[in-house]
């Protein structure tokens, strides 16, 4: 892929044959992926740098993107893993005192194909009605290649997601006066998970996804964090078996998003693919103990089937107020609790950041 003038024609081709014509920005060429939508009004940079979007063509439902630019401080990872970017209108004259670059410059640097000036409302309604489907963004003539592209689109599948986005070596992030040592499994983690732990007095050791039980024992952590990440959770069979053994150590465990799903699978639960997923910063979640509803940030296409949880093993702690899917589990048989949503969300909402405090309290209790 190479770079091109912003006025060049671009196309979005869906698996059902629908074509949206628009204007390209970022890189040029052709990319195939799973077309999804996210409803966040802000935090588009966090979306662009969230590894959980690996292999996906991300549609922003908010109509104007890029008005406050981008900056290095707000990146959730060292690079972007999205397949392509779809927006209604992008702002080429952003203004913000923290701004260091524009969205288009970011896409060019990351070699990501973007398309704007398409009807994202119509696209989103189609996905909501039909379900998530594969598609392609191309800056080439889509009509002459339609049949060829449709074959590739229909055979596309996101594979090896976690192994693609995870780090390959241990990295240590220290607090000035650390109270606890937390092992953070990197399944495609967002930096603000690490930041929330460091801010609460933790030394965080980020571990590759395939770190073994023996390697974990050598670190001797006070707590274990299972991070978010991309792809079908059932694909990670070795990691699931590894988590099953890690859970037997008795060390406090907190899981987020994919970490929540992997822990559930390790304890005998099942997962399912949602029709169009939960992606955005406005998902209502009910805490079943308090019956309080929180507004949460989410990004996932799969969910744990709450009914598959053995009540002797644990209980569903949170549910989605819209579709009643499982949003959290508190375990009885192991020292763990997990949630499907993102309590570390930046830029918000921050309603559920208290869960990090709860994780600290569990480690503090175990240390006594």
Do 224 and 182 touch, CB atoms closer than 8 A? Answer: yes
Nearest to 185 by CA among 276, 254, 231, 277: 254
- 326 catalytic per annotation: no
Helix (H, G, I), strand (E, B) or coil at 106: helix
- As a whole number of angstroms, the distance between CA 309 and CA 304 comes to 9
Catalytic residue among 34, 46, 203, 344: 344
Provide CB contacts within 8 A for 256, sequence distance 6+.
Answer: 193, 225, 226, 227, 228, 338, 339, 341, 342, 343, 344
Helix (H, G, I), strand (E, B) or coil at 330: strand
- As a whole number of angstroms, the distance between CA 298 and CA 39 comes to 10
Catalytic residue among 116, 260, 342, 346: 342
Rounded to the nearest 5 degrees, what angle is found at the Cα of 189, between the Cα atoms of 186 and 194? 95
Nearest to 134 by CA among 231, 32, 230: 32
Catalytic residue among 202, 257, 269, 326: 257
DSSP code of residue 176: S
Do 131 and 44 touch, CB atoms closer than 8 A? Answer: no
- 342 catalytic per annotation: yes
Structure tokens at 156: 């596309």
User: How far is residue 365 CA from its own chain's centroid?
Assistant: 31
Do 90 and 25 touch, CB atoms closer than 8 A? Answer: yes
- 346 catalytic per annotation: no
Residue with tokens 């909501």: 128
Burial of 26 (0-12, 13-18, 19+ CB in 10 A): buried
Residue with tokens 């969910």: 303
Peptide bond preceding 347 in cis form (omega within 30 of 0): yes
Structure tokens at 300: 């996932």
Do 56 and 36 touch, CB atoms closer than 8 A? Answer: yes
Do 67 and 91 touch, CB atoms closer than 8 A? Answer: yes
Write out the catalytic residue numbers.
257, 342, 344
């Amino acid at each position: 892929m190479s770079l091109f003038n912003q006025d060049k024609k671009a196309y979005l081709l869906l698996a059902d044959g629908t074509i949206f014509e628009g204007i390209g920005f970022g890189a040029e060429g052709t990319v195939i992926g799973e077309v999804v939508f996210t409803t966040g009004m802000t935090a588009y940079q966090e979306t662009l740098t969230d590894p959980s979007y690996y292999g996906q063509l991300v549609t922003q439902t908010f109509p104007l993107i890029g008005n406050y630019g981008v900056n290095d401080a707000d990146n959730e990872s060292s690079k972007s893993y999205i397949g392509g970017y779809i927006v209604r209108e992008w702002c080429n004259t952003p203004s913000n005192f923290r701004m260091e670059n524009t969205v288009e410059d970011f896409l060019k640097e990351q070699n990501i194909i973007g398309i704007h000036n398409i009807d994202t409302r119509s696209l989103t309604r189609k996905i909501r009605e039909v379900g998530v489907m594969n598609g392609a963004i191309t800056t080439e003539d889509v009509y002459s290649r339609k049949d060829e592209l449709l074959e590739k689109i229909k055979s596309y599948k996101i594979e090896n997601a976690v192994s693609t986005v995870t780090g390959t070596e241990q990295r240590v992030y220290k607090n000035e006066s650390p109270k606890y040592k937390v092992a953070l499994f990197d399944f495609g983690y967002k930096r603000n998970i690490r930041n929330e732990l460091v801010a609460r007095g933790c030394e965080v050791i980020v571990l590759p996804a395939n770190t073994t039980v023996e390697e974990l024992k050598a670190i001797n952590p006070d707590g274990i964090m299972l991070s978010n990440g991309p792809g079908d959770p059932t694909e990670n069979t070795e990691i699931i078996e590894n988590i099953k053994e890690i859970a037997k150590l008795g060390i406090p465990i907190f899981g987020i998003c994919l970490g929540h799903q992997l822990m559930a699978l390790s304890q005998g639960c099942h997962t399912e693919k949602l029709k169009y997923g939960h992606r955005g910063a406005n998902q209502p979640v009910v805490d079943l103990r308090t019956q309080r509803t929180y507004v949460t940030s989410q990004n996932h296409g799969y969910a744990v089937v709450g009914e598959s949880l053995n009540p002797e093993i644990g209980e569903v702690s949170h549910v989605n107020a819209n579709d009643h899917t499982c949003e959290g589990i508190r375990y009885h048989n192991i020292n763990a609790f997990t949630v499907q949503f993102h309590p570390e969300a930046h830029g918000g909402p921050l309603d559920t950041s208290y869960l990090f405090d709860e994780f600290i309290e569990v480690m503090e209790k175990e240390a006594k």
